[in-house]
Homo-oligomer: A and B are copies of this chain.
Amino acid sequence: MTIARYFEDFEVGAVREFGDYHVTEAEILEFAGKYDPQPFHLSDEAAKKTLFGGLCASGWHTCSMVMRMVVDAMPPGENGALGSPGLDELRWLKPVFPGDTLRVRSTVLDKKESRSRPDMGSVFLQNEGVNQKDEVVVRFKPIVMYRKHPQG
């Protein structure tokens, strides 16, 4: 299952699931050490005293793992992804623990042609990171700019 290649290929309402990301303790510690060195992301002992209940990934790390699965699901070769101006309503719903396996569920909420740039448009998605228990661990609504098909 790959992501649509160009703006025209996104169908509002379409849902795609993809990805298979195995979360390791080593990677949780490495990311947290660099970018989010709070005790509950660095030590299982410290995390057990918190709302998380055990060592868990930084929320930014969870988003980054989702992003990696999104990029891996892009069709090979040239594609129309032009970057993102942002996202709305990001919620970290469950902790991500060592040993979890994540996948992505991506829903096309809406799409709009650009007024100023007739060769591109914006796609409004809902992306969810889902773990091996089918729990949604993160949900957010990215806006992604896509080029239209070169042949129009």
Contacts and interface: CB of A to CB of B under 8 A. Distances in A.
Interface in A78-126: 81-92
Interface stretch (A2-10, A12-20, A56-64): A56-64
Contacts of A58: 64, 67
Query: How many copies of this kind of chain does the complex include?
Result: 2
Interface string A36-75: 1110100000000011100000111101110110010010
A37 B64 CA distance: 11
28 contacts: A35-B67, A35-B68, A36-B71, A37-B68, A37-B71, A38-B83, A40-B83, A50-B82, A51-B83, A51-B145, A52-B83, A59-B84, A60-B60, A60-B63, A60-B64, A60-B67, A61-B64, A63-B63, A64-B64, A83-B92, A84-B92, A85-B91, A86-B90, A86-B91, A86-B140, A87-B90, A88-B89, A88-B90
